[in-house]
Amino acid sequence: MKSVLIIFAIGSIFLMNIQAQTPKDLAQIWEKQHVSKLQPSQVRHKDLQKYLEQLKSFDLKVEEVGRSYANREIYQIEWGRGATKVLMWSQMHGDEPTATSALIDMFAFLQRNRDKDWVKRLENALTIRAVPMLNLDGAELYQRRNLQFIDINRDARALETPEGKLLKKLRDEWSPDIGFNLHNQSSLTTVGNTNKQATISLLAVSGNAEGKSNEGHLRNKRLCAVMIDALNQFIKGHIGRYDDTYNPRAFGDMISAWGTPVILIETGAFHGKGEMFLVKLNFIAFLSALEAIVDGSEKKANPKIYDALPFNNTGNLFNVIFRKANIINFNETTEPFTADVAINAERRRAEENAPTFVQEIGDLSVFSGLSEYDAQDFYLVQKKGLLRTGASGEFFFYRKTRKIDWKAKDLEKEFPPDAIFLNGRWMKGEKLLKKK
Ligand SMILES: [Zn+2]
């Protein structure tokens, strides 16, 4: 009896070892082991260097491979000794940071878990190289473009940026079998015709103007299907895809055309969850895809799962909508009119206050806001008087029952508002307007 139990126990340990990691396993692994501690948007060059020092202390190969326009060191991490060559690069746009942290976590995990059978198989089958934070100067300023104010992702043909030149060189000298082009999209990108945020969007890039498929492109579609299956366990309904409009200036298209079929992963947002949740999703997506390449499950994946993803959409979703506000443009007239008011926030690092601006005024009943407030019992007044699109989202709210002299010299002083909304936040009267 005892020996049967022992054999059973050994058998299950063996099984556990050869079975693929489920997406939930990968999520747990990340929760326990991730080494990126800062929110991705807070990571500057010096923070990246600290992360890389940590990777080096785990004996990972990290080397300087080039310099940015402002002469900052650009690094490449390498892991594995297998025949299949994978090239990944992140933050080609400086204000798109999620994947940089996810790459750090992935390499730290792989290197420190080489005793696990499934990691060993990855190590023997793959060589992974990654350039985290390709656009260091842009990342320092938290802007899309590099310090020449060129969009590196429109520089694949002209190669006028040192960062773009470097990326092409790294590809050409190594001829990887697959490329991962890692970006962030707007948090207001939506899935198809829904008002749901696209938390992750994918594109298997064909790399030609006709959108013709080759074996690498088909493999990448199957890999996208693997990632969709994995991510569906966390963000079902929040995955979209980009249409494959060929752009001969963009790196995803050109690297595919040069012989390295590229998968584009764009990370958006998930309302109510922070940046680290998105890092975890990236970690799960990367490792699910890499595992599927190595264990061959990619070959059985159904590319129709990828084809069935709705395309991304924009314009259906706003950061905040105030519904049925009674608007008073007190410098123009004191007669109120009723309208919905939508504001959006600009992209900023987590610790900064993102400026907001009025995006739409009118009947917004077909749109959604990540936050919505019922303003029908309130006057809404733009701080400077005239509510107009493009104005900053600085609003005073007055109960409709109050008697206000709209011609008052200093409105705010003489008639203190019941609620004040500035820069996407309530400064006063937070709970006064009903949240929808
Ligand atoms: Zn981008």
The Å distance, Cα 207 to ligand 1 centre, comes to 17
Distance from Cα 72 to the centre of ligand 1, integer Å:
20
75-123: pLDDT as tens digits: 999 999 999 999 999 999 999 999 999 999 999 999 999 999 999 999 9
Given a contact cutoff of 8 angstroms between Cβ atoms, the answer to whether 319 and 369 are in contact is yes
**pLDDT over 80 (residue 11):** no
Alpha-carbon distance of 299 to 303, in angstroms, equals 10
43 alpha carbon to ligand 1 midpoint, in Å? 17
* φ, ψ dihedrals at 292, nearest 5°: -65, -30
> What is the tens place of the pLDDT at every residue in 298-331?
999 999 999 999 999 999 999 999 999 999 999 8
Q: How far is the CA of 368 from the centre of ligand 1 (A)?
A: 25
Scanning 91-214, the segments in alpha helix (DSSP H) are 98-112, 117-125, 136-141, 162-174
CA of 247 to the centre of ligand 1 (A): 14
Kind plus residue range of the DSSP H or E element containing 266: strand 262-267
Confidence of residue 4 (pLDDT cuts 50, 70, 90): low
pLDDT band at 8 (very low <50, low <70, confident <90, very high): low
Q: CA 164, CA 160: separation in Å to the nearest integer? A: 7
- Cα 183 to middle of ligand 1, angstroms: 4
Contact 216, 130 (CB under 8 A): no
Question: How high is the pLDDT of residue 19?
Answer: 57
Report pLDDT for 333: 86
As a three-state string, the secondary structure of 204-254 is ECCCCCCCCCCHHHHHHHHHHHHHHHHHHHHHCCCEEECCCCCCCCCHHHH
Separation of CA 153 and ligand 1 centre (Å): 8
How high is the pLDDT of residue 2? 53
- pLDDT exceeds 50 at position 16: no
Give the Å distance between the CA of 220 and the centre of ligand 1. Answer: 19
Residue 245 identity: T
Determine contact, residues 191/312, Cβ cutoff 8 Å: yes
* Ramachandran class of 378: left when φ > 0, alpha when ψ lies in -120 to 50, beta otherwise: beta
Spacing, Cα 47 to ligand 1 middle (Å)? 21
- Give the per-residue pLDDT at 427: 96
The C-alpha atoms of residue 376 and residue 394 are separated, in whole angstroms, by 18
**Ligand 1 mean position, distance from CA 90 (Å):** 9
How remote is the CA of residue 370 from the centroid of ligand 1, in Å? 22
Amino acid occupying residue 357: F
70 C-alpha vs ligand 1 centroid, how far in Å? Answer: 20
Distance in Å, CA 96 to ligand 1 centroid? 6
Q: How far is the CA of 266 from the centre of ligand 1 (A)?
A: 7
Ligand 1 centroid to residue 282 C-alpha, Å: 15
What pLDDT is attached to residue 423? Answer: 85
pLDDT band with cut points at 50, 70 and 90 for residue 17: very low
Instruction: Give the mean pLDDT of the chain.
Output: 94
Ligand 1 centroid to 93 CA: how many Å?
5
pLDDT number for residue 211: 84
- pLDDT beyond 60 at 371: yes
Instruction: Tell me how many helices (H) and strands (E) the chain has.
Output: 12, 19
CA of 88 to the centre of ligand 1 (A): 14
Least confident of 33-42, 164-173, 207-216: 207-216
